[in-house]
Structure 1
């Protein structure tokens, strides 16, 4: 081990510099989460240099979850099959109830 090896970023499985794609586990989590909550909406976050395309599902009370998804079209299909509205977060932002939920969690010492 070299002197600066501890400072180098850790690499996950796969080729260096490649992003992890959405997996069946990601999709399963989204499906189960959406099925167990009411008033769910989907907010698609665009791909960046650091993360692949993700979707944030937000329930009626502001509870939320985030997972990778193949692309915007896959998010639209996910929403269509489940009758969930899909929004581009870059255009509409996150819903107020999500921010309020995070503030409650922080106040209660959970976040």
Structure 2
């Protein structure tokens, strides 16, 4: 690819598609290595694209862009997990509990 090719529409689309493919593969691996995973679609902001947060039964979570709402819905169908709109449902309590536990563990590790 030449220097000017980096700025063409086609090459940008190919780079984005590659990124979304890598993100989708990461999320698929994450789902298969965790129990009770649910997906929560987050709206696009001025800073970030639409993303999906996967949350396991224990509250552990991960976030990635998946190519819009259709990409998130397709991800849920492909992986057999429920997909929720975070604007309607909010985040589950187990996610907040997990973050609180991690904060305590990090604090203990610094003090040790």
The two structures have a TM-score, normalised by structure 1, of 0.77
Find the aligned partners of 2:65 and 2:82 in 1 and give their Cα distance.
Answer: 17
Aligned to 2:59: 62
Count of residue pairs the alignment pairs up: 93
Alignment partner, residue 44 of structure 1: 41
Worse overlay, 66-75 or 95-104: 66-75
Structure 1: stretches of 5+ with no match in the other structure? 1-12, 15-19
User: Cα RMSD (Å) of the superposition?
Assistant: 1.9
Q: 1:108 aligns with which of 88, 94, 105?
A: 105
Q: Confirm whether residue 87 of structure 1 aligns to residue 84 of structure 2.
A: yes
TM normalised by structure 2 equals 0.76
Determine which of 67, 72, 75 is the counterpart of 1:75.
72
Unmatched 5+ stretches in structure 2: 1-5, 8-14, 108-112
